[in-house]
Amino acid sequence: MKDDLGHDVDVPREARRVVSLVPSVTEGLAAARPEALVGATDWCTHPTDLDVTRVRGTKNPDRAAIERLRPDLVVANQEENRELDVRRLREAGVPVWVTRIETVDEALGSLRRLFDDALGWGVPDWLGAASAAWEAPAPATRGTVVVPIWRDPWMVVGPRTFTADLLRRLGWTVSVGAAPDPTSRYPHVELADVDTPDVDLVLLPDEPYVFGPDDGPEAFTSAPTRLVSGRLLTWYGPSLVEARTALDL
């Protein structure tokens, strides 16, 4: 089979041992077949009771630990994981399936291929429910939204991202203000460039930077702010089942 990047992957007939290097995919794997998930990163926080071998982070996975787990398949993502780690795992004989996801539709299609074709598990119930939840057309435009993901320096979500597409499907247009590189997926910005009266809403997620009631809203004096779940805004797993309703902003 070919993964999302067109790389040939020797997939098992039915994966019995899986390592996930993608937090949102980890949640989906655990929901579908928890006994098959044997390894995950330190950043894989859902489900909260996940009890598997931890293989460090998404950008610095412990490749030796992964090899010792003897996985039938390792799941990675083009954006979240390094090509170097994927290549070296493959060179060590470990099959790696890489996903590429920049839109809601790509997420649903990519996950369907992962579960049905690569893992041989069939389409899980939660994925069917997520597909149904996002069938409805986008509502009328609600306004312009800015989504910071870091501060000091400030970084925001750009238009060519999964989060931007998800918000577009909810009626919002993502803005990067006067970012020096507006085409960047996550551009650096000056606070004054996004804290402007023409911004209708600033969404402050709790990851990767943990914005909270006392850390984030106080920085904005012109645009209204709202704290939101980063999982609902940026993850493409079971969270998609509830995201459309929960993020009805």
pLDDT tens-digit readout, 147-172: 999 999 999 999 999 999 999 999 99
Tell me the three state secondary structure of residue 138. coil
Chain-wide mean pLDDT for the chain? 95
Give, in order, the Cα–Cα distances in Å from 198 to each of 160, 185, 201, 221, 224: 21, 21, 9, 12, 11
Tell me: the pLDDT tens digits for 208-223? 999 999 999 999 999 8
Give the integer Cα–Cα distance in Å for 76 and 136: 29
Helix-then-strand count for the chain, H and E:
9, 12
Query: Does CATH number 3.40.190.10 belong to domain 18-133?
Result: no
Would the CATH topology of 18-133 be identical to that of 143-246? yes
Q: Quote the pLDDT of residue 249.
A: 65
Q: What angle do CA 28, 112, 62 make, to 5 degrees?
A: 50
Query: For residue 105, what are its two tokens?
Result: 């539709």
| Separation CA 103–CA 112 (nearest Å) | 14
pLDDT at 248 over 90: no
User: What six digits make up the tokens of 136?
Assistant: 């409805």
What is the reported pTM?
Answer: 0.92
- Write the CA distances from 44 to 30, 40, 102, integer angstroms: 11, 6, 20
Read off the pLDDT band of 198 (50, 70, 90).
very high
Position 182 confidence tier, pLDDT thresholds 50, 70, 90: confident
Domain 143-246, CATH homologous superfamily name and number: Nitrogenase molybdenum iron protein domain (3.40.50.1980)
Confidence at 177, pLDDT banded by 50, 70, 90: confident
- The CA radius of gyration of the chain, in Å to the nearest whole number, is 19
3-state SS, residue 96:
strand
d(C-alpha 68, C-alpha 186), whole Å: 35
- Cα 1 to Cα 6, 76, 85, 86, 105: the distances in Å are 9, 15, 20, 17, 21
Backbone phi and psi for residue 94, each to the nearest 5 degrees, phi listed first? -95, 120
The domain ranges of the chain are 18-133, 143-246
What's the gap between Cα 162 and its chain centre?
7
